[in-house]
Structures are given as C-alpha cells and as structure tokens.
Structure 1
Amino acid sequence: MSSLFTKIAGGIGCTVLALPLLAVVIIAALLGGLSSGGSVAASPSKQALADIPAYMLALYQRAAPECPGLSWTILAAIGKVETDHGRNPTMVSSAGAVGPMQFLPSTFTSYAYPVPPGGKQPPTPWDPTDAVHAAARLLCANGARNGKNLRQALWHYNHDWAYVDHVLAVAADYAAAPLAPNSATAKAVVFARAQLGTPYVWGGDGPADGGFDCSGLTQAAYRAAGLTIPRVAQAQYDAGPRLPNGAQLAPGDLLFFGTGPRNVTHVSLYTGGGQAIDAPHPGAVVRQGPARTNTASFQGATRPSNRGAGAR
C-alpha cells in the first residue's frame, strides 16, 4: 500500500460527482443491454452512422439525458420513422403535426421549456434542437423515465402499437452490440460492485484505511483482476492505453474527469449499460450511477486490460 505521503505527493483528487445511489444490479448489466431498444449509452452501430446525419446524431445524444434512463436510440428511431431525420421536404402531416419530430403545435408547447442550449427564442417545433428535446420530455412524462414503461410512452407519442414496435426495432438497429468484459475486467467489475456502500476515505486503499477514494478503488479493482495500475487518477489516465474519442466503452474501462488532460481529478470504473462505479467525495459511499461521459468535465477513457497483466 502506498504511504499517505506518496498519495499526497501524487496529487490525489476525487471531485464531487453527484451520482444517485443505486442498488446492486444483476450481473447481466455487464453486457449493457436494455430491452427498451438499446443501452442508454450505446455506441452508434454502423447502420446508425450511415443513416443519421452527424448533427442529428449529436443532438439525439445530447437530448436523451432530459429523461433519465432514456436511450438516444429511441429519439433517433422516432426521428427516422417520422421524417427520416428531417429529410422529409414538407414535414407536415395530414393531422397537422409539423417539424422533424412531428409535433402538433399545441402538444409541443407543453414540452418546449426550458429552451435547450442552441434552441430558438421562442421555441418552435420546426427547429431540430427544440423538437428533439421536447420529444425527450414528452416521453419522460408518459413513462420513459428509467425505462418504467417505454412502450406506453411511445404509444402516447403516436397512438399506434405497430408504430411502437417499429420505433423499438429501429432503435435496436441503431445500437451497436455491447462489448462484453474479458476475464480480467469482469473480475475488476465484480470487485468494484462488492465495495458498494463502502465509505469514501481520502487517500483510502481499502478496509485497512476504512474505505476508498476514487483512484484507490480503481487500483484495488484492477489489483483483484491481477493487473497493476498507478495509484492516483492523473497517473492512471497517463498510463493508458487511452481510447479514441467516441469509442464504444466496455465494462472495466476507466473514465476520467477534470478541467483538462493535465488536471485529471476523478476516476470511475465503467460497468456497462451507461453505468459506472466510483468513490465520489467525503461523506459519501462507493456507489453506482450514470457514467456521465456527456459532461464537459469528461476527459476520456482508458482500457487497462489492453496493457496486459503486471503492467505498470
């Protein structure tokens, strides 16, 4: 175990990440699949990348967090079924629905506020940013939050069960197959899950210290998997190997946060399905919640298992 002096000299920092406390999820979550049409944080499939305009893909991904637990693939599938992602030249239905997500103006008004970044003032269903964010809010209000009743939410969007099935099928096609953990990363994830509820202790490496801090937890998880990684978050980030921006995440990947690549102050361990485990801050406990890779503080991910056993 590293001495406290070494930890201090190494610049340990675990900033606050406000992740909601969740119960331990079943091991199937390692595969990241959701019956609701794909993982919340699913990577785009080849079909999605070929079919969805880049600006619309980014918009669907940016708007999905309006509804916790909603996959961007659902918004993308609605956009595809309704107007082929805005490619329909008129975007006016016989019922009077308008714009890329086909809102009745009266319905849109109920979900238009607050105006999202980049939206119009006043908001309009013709604007893609306004419309996609409003669609996420409408779905959330009708059962999509945390996947509680996604089918019912989609039926409220368009009162047709065949439409619901069509949207879910397109959503499934838009999600790339999740990456399964290898034996080492599976062990790291299992170890991290076993620590849920353990107190956060600054500089902590485990039970002997009364708990973990963020990088102490990730180092211990990989030690349990037979891999050696550095002690502090910045050093773990520097050790890599880093994943390209936008790469599909796999269980066991380390996610790094801070104000820049030379000021990494927090690390979490990705567990699949858009979730990660971390030791967040003093007064908290080890917990699991959204991976938060869509935040400004996210600096990138590494895959320590690619370095091999015993790597330093």
Structure 2
Amino acid sequence: MRVPLTCKPFARYPEVRSSRLDAVTPETPTADAPPKPTWARGALYRGLVALPLVAGLATAGWLVAGRDQPAPVPAQAALTAPAPAQTVSGPSVLQASAPVQAQEPAQGAAGGGGGPAPLQKWADSLAGPLDIPAPALLGYANGELTMRKERPDCHLSWVTLAGLGVAGNNHGRGDGEPMGLSTQQWKKYGAQIPGIANPALSDPSAASVAAGRALCASGVDLSAGNGWWKAVAGYENGSGMELFRQRVLGYAQLYATLSLDPAKANAPSLHATRFALGQLGLPYVWGGNGPDAGAAGFDCSGLTKASYDSAGVSLPRTADSQFRSVPPVPGGQEPQLGDLVFYGSPATRIHHVGLYLGNGLMINAPTEGQAIQIHTFHRPGDDYAGAGHPAN
C-alpha cells in the first residue's frame, strides 16, 4: 500500500490578493497518488511558471489533514471575507518585513603605502562568502553611503540594493538592466551621481545610487517593514512584481545574515537556503521533486529534501519523517538560517515543513495552486510544532 505524502492539499482557500506570472492550471491529485507531473523546465530562475504568489499581508493558509473541506467562497467575496476558522494551520501570511541589520560598509581613505581603501577591502572580504562580484558589492555600498547623505531618513541598506541586483540581472552576470532599473528610472535618478563625471548604467555605483534614489523617492523609511515593502513594490510594479519583491526580500535577508557571519558561507545550511531561494516562483506539485527530477515543482518536503540534497545532506522524504530524524531546536529558541520548521502534532503526525530564512520568515511550498514563496513562519493560533537542525 502506498503511503500518502505529506503536504497534500485538502482544499483551496480564499485569497485576499494575489498576482500571477502566467496562468497554469494544476492537475488535481487523487487520494492515492501524486498528480502526473507537467514536464517543464525554464531557463530563467529554474523554470518559473504561472501560479499565484501571495501579496504582502495576504492570506494563504492550508487545511489540517482530516478536516472537512469548507464550502467554496465566491470570487468576489474572497477579497473581503475572513478565512474560515479551520484554516488556522501552518504559516498563512507574509507580514511586511525589512531585512535585518547587516555588517556596515567600511569608510575612510586609503592607507599608507598605497593600499586599498577600507571600503574596497570590505568589498573584497565579503565578495566570496556572499557570491557577489566585488565591483557590484562596492557599488551597493556606495549606493548606501550616498543615500545616507542625500536621504538619511530613508535608512537604505546595501543588502536591499544587493537584493535588487540579484533579482535584476544576477549582479551583472545576466541579461537585463542592472538593478532592474527601467529606462525611465535611470533618466530620472541617474543623471548626476556624486564623484562620477559621466554616470553610466553599466557602472555598479551609478546604478546603485539611481536605484537608491528610486526606492527613497516616496519618503519611506526602509528600516521599517511597511516602508520597505511599499518601496520595493513601487520600484517594480509590472506583472512580475510579486516574484521580484520576494526575491529581493529573500536574498537581502540572506546577505544580511551572512555578512554578520561570513564563515558560514560553505555550511550545508547556507547551500540549502540558496537552493530553496532559487526555486521561488515554481509551482507546488504534490509529490513533486523539482525540475531536475522531471516535475514542474515541489511539495513541501520535496523542497526541503532537494535543498539539503544539494548540500550533500540526505533527509527522509516526508515532513513527518524529517521531523523525527533531525536534531530538534530547543524550545524557546528561534530557528537559524536553514533550519526546518514543522507544523502538525508531534504526538501523531507532522503534515508540513518549510525552510527557515531568518527574521521570522520561511521559504514555503504551501499548497496546490500556489507558487513556492516566502511566508511568515509562525503566528498565534497556528499548529507550529517546532524546528529541527539538519546540519551546520
């Protein structure tokens, strides 16, 4: 007899808001087996497909195994109706969040003997651990330092610019405009850059300053969650805005955490987290093990297993078996980057798992009809069961 996988979707739920990449209609799984996979691979971001991404502060819960399916909610009512009481299970919202405080860029003139300036040394020391080219990292730092003078109330951090840089064109390694800047944004914010006689969009420092000005233009405070969320939404407001914003948030959080402890750059937990971030936007597929295994996407435990497989750490396949096989994080302690966070009943069955990103956030394959995305990992009333620590 085949044992059903965890993370099985039991019902759809009302969404307050969502955005789509392109329309995809997932197949409905049977009670005995996962759905037949859709064979799809994409060249960009591991084959992004069209499924709803939950917008900031939007409901996106799933049901506990064995509970009755609620009656369908009409589409118009779903915009305003509260979620049914029985959906309080697992993470169900993405609260507005700003990245944590990162290591500050060094400042000062070059030392005696013509050695590199402290800022260049800072960029060189972090470029390898963060996997960001030193010129790009130097540009992000210059963007922060310039905006400290021009808009000190904005509190722009270089990690937000680094998040824009990886989401825009992979820190200059890919196609597209640096920092995801539009032509209109560059014309408006990049014409005059302090210390650069002829600003060019290809220059990381010039592009970073222009991006910082665009983010701070609305007068927001980027150290606060609501301000950060609003600024990045306004920066990229096209059809792919929600995926862009989640990628910026996820990588900015990663860079901030790693900048404070760069020695963990080669830790399995860091490799697993990078892998999971690379899957943002792929669809939830019950029983899915990802594009490398021939599926369009992942289910929850498929994502966590594949993430740690990429780091050379083997995990069992289901959420319940992962919960019972990894060392637990002591109660009362916050999970760390790369830890697994579990939902359900430890005494009976764990039905869901995600990968902790830090700052109260998790990378999550939620349920059928939803893309892999970032959620707030714990809120009062959910069935959070604790965290586990697969590897350092």
TM tier, smaller: 0.3 to 0.5
Structure with the larger helix share: 1
